[in-house]
Amino acid sequence: MIRKYAVLAALAVLAVVMLVPFAIVAANAVKSPAEYSSGGPLSLPGGLHLDGIVAFWNRTDFGGKLWNSLVISGSVAVLAVVLSVLNAYALGVGRVRGRTWIMVAFLVANTLPQEALVYPLYYLAKQAGLYDTRLAVIIIFTVIQSAFGTYLLASVLGRFPREILEAAALDGAGKWRALWRIVVPVSRPTLAVLLVFFFIWTWNEFFLPLVFLVSNENQTVPVALGVLQGDKMMDATMSSASALLGILPAVVFFLIFQRTLTRGVTVGAIK
């Protein structure tokens, strides 16, 4: 019982630590510049002033940046999950030759910094005519995210009950049918967790989109926020508005799929 209350207390403290900065940013985003100058960043707003949010939205074409981030993050999340399932099915269930070394290769790929990948990826994108396109970023992050997804799912599917697959084979189910009718439905909670993580991770990416998306109409939300941080024309309230608008979509996505994420983690823990 004491341990349970200790865990709940730790979670409460963690929630407060995470929510306080978000609350400060949100409060400063709806202040007027005069209120911020007189009261400072920790004062409460006297009213709801949306001038900073509206000015930032219009100034950066935030709607276009938001659409770019949604398209890239959503596409990467779906494609990376599909590619991870296919790779993991071959490694975990199919037991291909050299499985251990392939898993080591995926593990090493997860540890490579993006700075080491940027030049060869830049050269390949230039040669393929995909530089400064959303498709290039989608392909790159699909491969990067699926490396982690393959490593995780291969370990999970390696312990998949062989009796179920053997029974499906006796009923005439081939490998593809067993994958989509048996393995994928059983692994749905884990796949849902990967989908949420892949979306949020891709949404927050900054370095590679900064290098590959140089046109203003192709930039994502983090790139737009990073580029404007050094702009002298932005006051403190507009900077807070930009931070709020950059964080809010990812928070909303997380809250929408919170039950899916919790269910997936709980199922994995029970198993």
Q: What is the mean pLDDT of residues 171-186?
A: 84
* DSSP track, the chain: -HHHHHHHHHHHHHHHHHHHHHHHHHHHHTS-HHHHHHH-TTSPPSS---HHHHHHHHHHTHHHHHHHHHHHHHHHHHHHHHHHHHHHIIIIIS--TTHHHHHHHHHHHHHS-HHHHHHHHHHHHHHHT-TTSHHHHHHHHHHHHHHHHHHHHHHHHTTS-HHHHHHHHHTT--HHHHIIIIIHHHTHHHHHHHHHHHHHHHHT--HHHHHH--SGGG--HHHHHHHHTT-TT--HHHHHHHHHHHHHHHHHHHHHTHHHHHHHHHHHHH-
| pLDDT exceeds 60 at position 166 | yes
Quick: pLDDT tens for 201-239. 999 999 999 999 999 899 999 988 877 665 555 577 888
Quick: pLDDT tens for 242-257. 888 888 887 787 777 7
Ranges 30-34, 118-122, 232-236, 262-266, most confident = 118-122
The confidence score (pLDDT) of residue 127 equals 94
Quick: pLDDT tens for 11-31. 567 666 667 877 888 888 888
Percentage of the chain lying above the pLDDT 70 cut: 85
The confidence score (pLDDT) of residue 270 equals 38
The confidence score (pLDDT) of residue 268 equals 47
The confidence score (pLDDT) of residue 198 equals 94
The confidence score (pLDDT) of residue 69 equals 95
Q: What is the mean pLDDT of residues 139-164?
A: 88
| pLDDT exceeds 90 at position 72 | yes
The confidence score (pLDDT) of residue 74 equals 95
Q: What is the separation, in whole angstroms, between the first and last Cα of the chain?
A: 24
